[in-house]
Amino acid sequence: MSFTWASKKPKDGVATLYESNITLNKAASSHFEHAYNVLLGLDLDSKRIAVKPISKEESDIGAIPEEKRHKITVRSSYARVCNKKFLKEVADLAKIDLKDNNSFKYKAKWSKEDALLVIDLTQPEV
């Protein structure tokens, strides 16, 4: 017999979209352990969300305008970014209904090159 033993740690990043927030699983949130804030970006052409960590130092020197910074809450098994207005734009782009406690899961991959997490709205998690 050749068993493959299951790990308790998820290896694939998953982002769950809700009406008011994006919740990242442990694998995806591991890149934000030292983030002070994040930037949220939306690529309308390729239907992708970018979540880029901002350090305290970057925040303190004022390199990024305050209205572009978003609070991230990082816990031991997940991270969460809240922005209802942004998620309405995402829902319109992805043609999903986030109302009535609906949620949708998408694959999330870390881009080393750009130092950001990419959530692909064309790749729902099954």
pLDDT the model gives residue 55: 93
Contact 87, 18 (CB under 8 A): yes
pTM, two decimals, is 0.89
pLDDT the model gives residue 89: 97
Contact 59, 125 (CB under 8 A): no
Tell me which residue of 70, 77, 34 sits closest to 51, measured CA to CA. Answer: 70
Contact 122, 49 (CB under 8 A): no
**Percent of the chain whose pLDDT exceeds 70:** 97
Q: How does residue 11 score in pLDDT terms, banded at 50, 70 and 90?
A: confident
- State yes or no: pLDDT of 10 exceeds 70: no
